[in-house]
Structure 1
């Protein structure tokens, strides 16, 4: 279990998190939602040990500290927003960097097999020998996701993992997140902007705003019109898909101003 106790994150004069308490359980997928500036990425960076904070962060009985930072990070598969790779490496070489601790002058057959299987599962095997700097943003994102999984993490932290992907690859990546989380009994924490995708692929929604958790629980419970409209400052309507997951639809201001004309 990952536990946050009175977590406070200060950015300049703004408290992006103010005494947040949260328990995250193994085998579950949590999505952090909220408007820009709500502290979503800051929370991931803080749990990874990149941002100063007040309070306590535990994984099991281990407390995050400067002394334990190296061993702490080894258990986390962290994929930040910026997946830019500056070095001229092939996609396969970038993925192998996920197991940097196991790399030597000669890469073993077993590790190569693991990397190849990972690329095959993610439908990016055809990119193996292409220069990663020549790939599209979406292709790079899939390569970095493969690198994260090759680390065999105990916890996944993904910051906007589908932002550069088309619909097919969004679903493909998130299905793999679900499958990997369940099979390996991980804690998975994602930042998403698409509320409808979060509703489909999350066990629990963490809705942030004004430095506080504004909603916590299943999507149908948390994603309510009044709360979403208040936080995002936009009118919405909520529909439901064939599986009962909420689909959030933002409305143009003209829909509210001229309801009769829009029905015509």
Structure 2
């Protein structure tokens, strides 16, 4: 199954759906005439068509019927109604990819049929700046080639890793929700810099770039984060004293507990 000439549909075109469409278009892996999307109201059709240059409607069933690859980009509480609308349009060859939290593969198989190709995905908001991280799991009807094709399709907005379904809630905690933790960390560092006399705009720039560069070092050097931390902590220097305070105040434990709570709530959705 090749990407060329495949129709790609999006049921839902909110922030995440829009980011994904932008990434696919910018990567040149699909053209505007092969991407379709739906919105909830007529008022949003013209706005989205102008923004994305694709065909947009309110007809979920029509978009599903046209799509070889169909992204379900709606909130979990609306999924039952959407699946009722589109189930008659899904064939055994349609690749159905849901980004809704808390809905497992079995749920989609019960709604659409256990002979359908189902992929469950968890993207994150950095996809909006083409720097996302997404976990996916597949059912037994999806071939290895189809899985690789979806990973290729998503490269314009996100790195993608295949995980077993029992880890999808962990994916939610470690990448889906974690941008919020990082934003809080950046905000806290910037606030302290402001308290030290730095203008706020400049403080955000320093803090955000430090986080960005540190993450890039982990990814590109492949060194253990602890080793990279030790490289910054000079003997009798300032950094080791700051690290001592963070350990004393429970930073590591707070992050651990926050992620465990996120996993717990994800499993209850």
In the superposition, the TM-score normalised over structure 1's length comes to 0.30
Larger radius of gyration: 2
**Which structure's residues are more often strand, by fraction?**
1
Point out which structure has higher relative CO (alpha carbons under 8 A, 6+ apart): 1
**Which structure's residues are more often helix, by fraction?**
2
